[in-house]
Amino acid sequence: MDSIQLRIRIDGAIAQKALAMAQARGMDLPDVVRMMLTKAVQIGDFSIEKELAQHQQLEERSRRRPYFDYDESQWNSMKTVLEAELALALVNQFIASHTLEIEALANQDPPDAERIGHLSQKRDHARRVLATLDPTDAKSVQSILEEFGPPAGSSGPVDSGEANEGGQP
C-alpha cells in the first residue's frame, strides 16, 4: 500500500485539545487525522457541517413516532384494536398494583384497615369493569382509558395508588 507522510502546522492550543480528545478515546492524533480524511473521501466533501446536518436529520427521524408518518385511514382499523388492548392492560395493571399495595398494607403492624378497604373497593370496581368490558364498544374502551389512564396533559403513568377516577384528582 502506497502511503504519503504528511507534516502539518496547527495552532498549539488546538493541538493540545485535539490530543487530549484523542487520548481520552484511546487514540493517537495521527489516527484521528487518518479517520477524518478517510471519512471526507467517503462522503466526497471536507465539510463537517454536511455530516452534522445528516446526523441531525437521522436524530430527528428517530425521535418522531413512526406511526405519525402513515396515512390516518390505514391506521383506523388497528387503532380501535390497540386502544382496546391498552384499556385491558391499564385495568390489569391497576388491579395488580392495588393488590400489591393491599398486601403491603396488610403486612404492616398494625394494618391500615381503612386504606385497605378503600383500595379493595377500587380494585373490585376495576375487576367488574374488566369482567364486563366489550373490546368492540369504542365508547366503553374510551371510558376505561379516561378512568384508568394518565390524566389529560400528563406525560407519565398514573401513580398505582391513585387512578384518575372519573377525572377527579
Lowest-pLDDT choice from 54-58, 116-120, 130-134: 54-58
Sketch the domain layout of the chain as residue ranges: 12-63, 75-148
pLDDT for res 88: 92
Rg (CA), the chain: 29
Q: Which residues are CB-contacts of 157 (< 8 A; sequence separation ≥ 6)?
A: 150
What is the pLDDT averaged over residues 132-156? 83
Q: Which three cell numbers stand for residue 93?
A: 395493571
pLDDT of residue 121 exceeding 90, the answer is yes
Rounded average pLDDT over 15-19 = 90
DSSP, collapsed to helix, strand or coil, labels residue 168 as strand
Helix, strand or coil, per DSSP, at residue 167: coil
**Mean pLDDT for the chain?**
80
pLDDT of residue 154: 62
DSSP-assigned letter for residue 165 = B
Residue 117 pLDDT class (50, 70, 90 cuts): very high
Tell me the pLDDT tens digit for each residue of 34-61: 888 888 888 787 776 666 677 777 777 6
| Cβ count within 10 A of residue 91 | 22
pLDDT at 56: 75
- CA distances from residue 42 to 33, 46, 73, 153 in whole angstroms, order as listed: 14, 10, 42, 46
